[in-house]
Structure 1
Amino acid sequence: MKKSHTLILLGLLLVALIGTSIYLTKRPPKEDVPAEVNEGKIALSQHDREDAVKMILESKGNTLLFERGEDGWIVNGDSSITLDESSVKDLEYSFSNMYSEQIVEENPQDLDKYGLQKPLAIATVILKDGTEKVFYVGNQTPAKNTYYLMVKEDPKVYTVWMNHGNHFTASLEDFRDRSLPNVDTQQLSYFKLERQEQPTIEIALNEEESEAKAYGVGIWNMLQPYRQIHTINTEEFSKQLEKIPSFKVQDFIEDYPQDLKKYGLDQPSMILQMKDMEEGEVHLLFGNEYDNDNLYFKLADRPAVYGMKKSSLEILYTLEPFAVVDKFAYIVNIDFVDQIQIQTKDKDYSIQLKREIKKAQEEGKEDETITTYFINNKEVEEKPFKELYQSLIGIMVDAENKETLEESPEVSMAFTLNVDPKQVVVDYVPYNRDFYAVFRDGTSEFLASKGQVTKILTRLEELSK
């Protein structure tokens, strides 16, 4: 191709691109309405959406009266019924911008064949200037993409796009907001799950400041069901939270029930409370099952009874406290420990951490803490000592203790701290051949394998020699 031809072609392409850019910039925004082409059609109703002050739908023996208030639309005079904004806008659209696909018959003698002798629905809109428009909705056409429709005081039978027919024959449920309060589980501050014949799980954000939180340790505390407060395994708890669904209404059962007992909500089978740090809150009460996999439920602060799929709540039925609790028998930062006394059947061990403050020699620099480690008065190097300490606080529990035992320890570990509480005692009481019952401050809730403790005692003896 010659150079001159190439330049001309490039110039034309540039003009085309500029033209396209101008068009995309200047063209009017696309309206959020159903896909319907109105060019060349007959306008049946055209007005500004905001002009409508009342919309009335009569079908199947029921009447829906929408009235525009200061804060939006109210249905049947009941402001407690929350409406789905997009669904009501769709209805506004049908009243304000409706075209006929075609005139089917100018002066019909038989309305019954169109379903208009006894219409499926009568749709009325009243505008703020007092104008009233009434539409009669008949059957769907054989093509199923349009409805037969008549306008009051007009003898013609029209067809209109299916969206209009669907909007005019909709029930109250179709206009109701199905969303429910939800929380941001990434910012959870409180969780409480009460279930019949299962332990209550109560978890709250740990308000105490600690360096461990930066590593995901000790963010939450488990307040129930255990007698003592235990920290939560952050990673595992977060995984379980991800399985909790975003709550939505499946069925609207009864708005103002007189008897909660018939739904099993007088004594709920399950109660869920969740709060987040942005003041989001969920408080749901669950009752009886119905229609196989459905469950009655209600919000604690609203009278209405709803329904949702029970299968979507599986995690709430199967969640076990032991699955999310931290498994450490006792974990504490080494900087908070001054002394550990370990007593066994055969020998006692005294572990000491002696600290000395070395003043900074230069202004602006921090003092240095020098720690020396001793086992039975024998100084131990830092590396092996810290390895031993990691083993001590790394004892993991393996299961819940379901038995009541007398606290007669085979091994006892008493931690003397420089912070509150000043002392914590962890006792290991024989449970069976393989496990110890772990007692902490006189209470045993978990079991730990004997092998873990035996390895620590063996290493302790080696370092003490």
Structure 2
Amino acid sequence: MKNWKKIIILSVIFVVFLAAFIFLKGNLSKTDNGIESPSPTDVASSDEIKLIDITQEDISKIVLKREDGEIVLTKEERYVETLETNDDGTTKKVTEKKKVWVNPSFDVDNDLVEDVVSAAATVMTKRLIDENPGDLTIYGLDKTLITTFVSTNGKEVSIEIGNLTPTQDSYYVRILDMPAVYTIDSYKGKTLRYGKFDLMNKNLYGTDALSAEDITSLSFKRSGEEVFSAEKRTSSADWVITGPIPEREANISEFSKFLNWVSSFRVKEFVEENPSDLKHYGLDSPKYVFEYTLDGEMYRVMLGNKNDSEYYGMMEGNNTVFSVDAINLNFVDLPLKDLVSLFAYIPLIYDVEKLVIEIDGRTDVLLINESQEEGTTPEFHFNGQKIENDEQEKRFRKYYQGAISIMGDKIDLDSVPSGEAAIRLTYTMKKAEPDKIVKVELIPTNDGYGYFIVRNDNYTGLVIGERKLHDESDTGIRKAYENLVDALAKTE
């Protein structure tokens, strides 16, 4: 009985406490006028406001007030040229009319301005920090960094953007002429803080409709010394090195690295306008200089000091120092030897009707009758003997390969060859393009290293080592001769 009394008393006490809790909770959630106050989640969401009440499509003008001046961006219709890829992999230039962002004093990166517009149209505040701050310096809002957006119907919204918060994940911001300070997402804050250097087009050509095919001349200097000058032949689109070595075909696999870079390089960052001290950037005496003709326009790009993973650079006619990624310039120290074709002469066998090889005191005559036309049968003669079977034909071709495989292994532009040729190869071509007869001579060097390579009485600037002519592979000229003679002897 006593236990039941205790249970009843405890139950009454519990009910009293529960009723008191419910009563107090209800009164605490009301203001003086009896209206319920929001829950904690509602309080948090009240910090979120749409900062700029203009849609992305309606923004037609942006004014950036920065410490170094004011920038006005407007959206206008312009003709824009781009490259379009065809089904076969080739490209063609396409021009279309588009609305793009422009500024009268510099070329604008339209995509980056669109990022600013997108950020403006979608940015929401994260937190209300201070409704009426007394000291704006603690938020970085005393520096008059103001971004103004203007709609097509004339509506303007201006925001002041301050510093990053201590946690680095937000920027302080407020609407112009309104005291309350909020925070916004750091990415959008950074975008809305963009200045001139951020929005300048990092494509200095001002168009994407360019490729290496549009380059017609290119020269390159390293530390003040000419590495090469080159031109593209209009008839064949082949590149030839015209200096300082006597004219030679370019080694396109390496040379194309220069073509690809100058036609497509992009600025990484703009550094300084109208620099007073070029020496600071190494641009008073540039380390690398590219001079080239691209789409009919002459350009000169200079690269100076290397700073970590970047080079400082300038383009002639554009007095702004910029940086470019060094990783894309890993070809600039290539020697001339790697940029030219080192072959003495390398015609296709289809284009040759006769080859005379004078070597080791003998003269070999190779008569060639071969065509690329379908259904034709090749016919070869060696020193008057007709090539009869597959093995002989194989060895004949290897000997021909040995002749056209003669190539320099170094460049010597200081020497002047003299004396008699130790080896001579005389090609008679089917057509004169431009020469009907092409004569390659190897004249011994004075130091015993090997031979100067002379073509049609003109020194090529190439030198071949003696050891190269004793190559024991089946396309080494001496070894190939031995193999051909052996194959012919087996049928006698």
* TM-score, L = length of structure 2: 0.66
Residue 405 of structure 1: which of 417, 430, 447 is its match?
Answer: 417
User: Post-superposition shift, 1:193?
Assistant: 3.1
Letter in 1 for 2:463: L
Larger CA deviation: 403-412 vs 162-171: 162-171
User: Post-superposition shift, 1:88?
Assistant: 1.8
Letter in 2 for 1:395: I
Equivalent residue runs for 1:235-384 within 5 Å: 235=253, 237=255, 247-253=265-271, 270-272=288-290, 283-289=299-305, 295-300=311-316, 302-309=317-324, 311-312=326-327, 314-344=329-359, 346-353=361-368, 368=376, 371-375=379-383, 377-381=384-388, 383=393, 384=395
Equivalent residue runs for 1:185-196 within 5 Å: 190=216, 192-195=218-221, 196=224
Q: Structure 2 CA distance, aligned partners of 1:122 and 1:141?
A: 18
Q: Is the 8 A contact 2:424 2:440 kept in 1?
A: yes
Q: Structure 1 CA distance, aligned partners of 2:256 and 2:437?
A: 32
User: Post-superposition shift, 1:442?
Assistant: 1.0
Cα RMSD between the aligned structures? 4.3
The structure-2 alpha-carbon separation of the partners of 1:407 and 1:244, relative to structure 1 and needing over 3 Å to count, comes to: farther
Q: Is the 8 A contact 2:291 2:299 kept in 1?
A: yes
User: Post-superposition shift, 1:428?
Assistant: 1.7
Q: Structure 2 CA distance, aligned partners of 1:56 and 1:461?
A: 84
Q: Is the 8 A contact 1:244 1:315 kept in 2?
A: no
Post-superposition Cα deviations, 1:344-388, rounded to whole Å, max 9, x if no partner, equal 5734444434799xxxxxxxx97846635140x344445143332
Post-superposition Cα deviations, 1:127-166, rounded to whole Å, max 9, x if no partner, equal 3433333333344444433334333454433333334543
1:392 alignment partner in structure 2: 403
Q: What is the percent sequence identity of the aligned residues?
A: 21
Larger CA deviation: 382-391 vs 115-124: 115-124
Q: Is the 8 A contact 2:356 2:363 kept in 1?
A: yes
User: Post-superposition shift, 1:409?
Assistant: 0.9
Post-superposition Cα deviations, 1:205-232, rounded to whole Å, max 9, x if no partner, equal 68449xxxxxxxxx644444431333x4
Q: Which structure would you say has the larger Rg?
A: 2
2:225 alignment partner in structure 1: 197
Q: Structure 2 CA distance, aligned partners of 1:261 and 1:57?
A: 32
Q: Is the 8 A contact 1:148 1:158 kept in 2?
A: yes
Letter in 2 for 1:371: E
User: Post-superposition shift, 1:454?
Assistant: 4.4
User: Post-superposition shift, 1:93?
Assistant: 3.6
1:86 alignment partner in structure 2: 111
* 1:145 matched to 2:169: yes
Equivalent residue runs for 1:60-79 within 5 Å: 60=67, 62-71=69-78, 72-75=100-103, 77-78=104-105
User: Post-superposition shift, 1:330?
Assistant: 2.0
Residue 422 of structure 1: which of 436, 445, 463 is its match?
Answer: 436
Letter in 2 for 1:307: F
The structure-2 alpha-carbon separation of the partners of 1:42 and 1:443, relative to structure 1 and needing over 3 Å to count, comes to: same
1:169 alignment partner in structure 2: 193
Letter in 1 for 2:225: E
Q: Structure 2 CA distance, aligned partners of 1:425 and 1:116?
A: 77
The structure-2 alpha-carbon separation of the partners of 1:116 and 1:267, relative to structure 1 and needing over 3 Å to count, comes to: closer
Letter in 1 for 2:116: L
* TM-score, L = length of structure 1: 0.69
Q: Structure 1 CA distance, aligned partners of 2:119 and 2:126?
A: 14
Q: Structure 1 CA distance, aligned partners of 2:55 and 2:245?
A: 63
The structure-2 alpha-carbon separation of the partners of 1:260 and 1:69, relative to structure 1 and needing over 3 Å to count, comes to: farther
The number of equivalent residue pairs is: 402
Q: Is the 8 A contact 2:289 2:301 kept in 1?
A: yes
The structure-2 alpha-carbon separation of the partners of 1:58 and 1:293, relative to structure 1 and needing over 3 Å to count, comes to: same
2:452 alignment partner in structure 1: 437
1:156 alignment partner in structure 2: 180
Letter in 1 for 2:313: F
Q: Is the 8 A contact 1:407 1:439 kept in 2?
A: no
Letter in 1 for 2:351: F
User: Post-superposition shift, 1:440?
Assistant: 1.0
2:29 alignment partner in structure 1: none
In structure 1, list runs of 5 or more residues that go unmatched: 1-36, 210-218, 357-364
The structure-2 alpha-carbon separation of the partners of 1:103 and 1:408, relative to structure 1 and needing over 3 Å to count, comes to: same
1:49 alignment partner in structure 2: 56
The structure-2 alpha-carbon separation of the partners of 1:411 and 1:206, relative to structure 1 and needing over 3 Å to count, comes to: farther
Q: Secondary structure at the match of 2:367?
A: strand
Q: Is the 8 A contact 2:230 2:239 kept in 1?
A: no
In structure 2, list runs of 5 or more residues that go unmatched: 1-43, 79-99, 471-475
Q: Structure 2 CA distance, aligned partners of 1:355 and 1:114?
A: 86
User: Post-superposition shift, 1:406?
Assistant: 0.8
Q: Structure 2 CA distance, aligned partners of 1:116 and 1:337?
A: 78
Post-superposition Cα deviations, 1:437-461, rounded to whole Å, max 9, x if no partner, equal 2211112322233425544665677
Q: Secondary structure at the match of 2:153?
A: coil
* 1:104 matched to 2:104: no
Q: Structure 2 CA distance, aligned partners of 1:104 and 1:127?
A: 28
Residue 179 of structure 1: which of 200, 203, 215 is its match?
Answer: 203
Q: Is the 8 A contact 1:139 1:147 kept in 2?
A: yes
Q: Structure 1 CA distance, aligned partners of 2:172 and 2:367?
A: 91
Q: Structure 2 CA distance, aligned partners of 1:258 and 1:40?
A: 48
Letter in 2 for 1:410: A
The structure-2 alpha-carbon separation of the partners of 1:44 and 1:371, relative to structure 1 and needing over 3 Å to count, comes to: closer
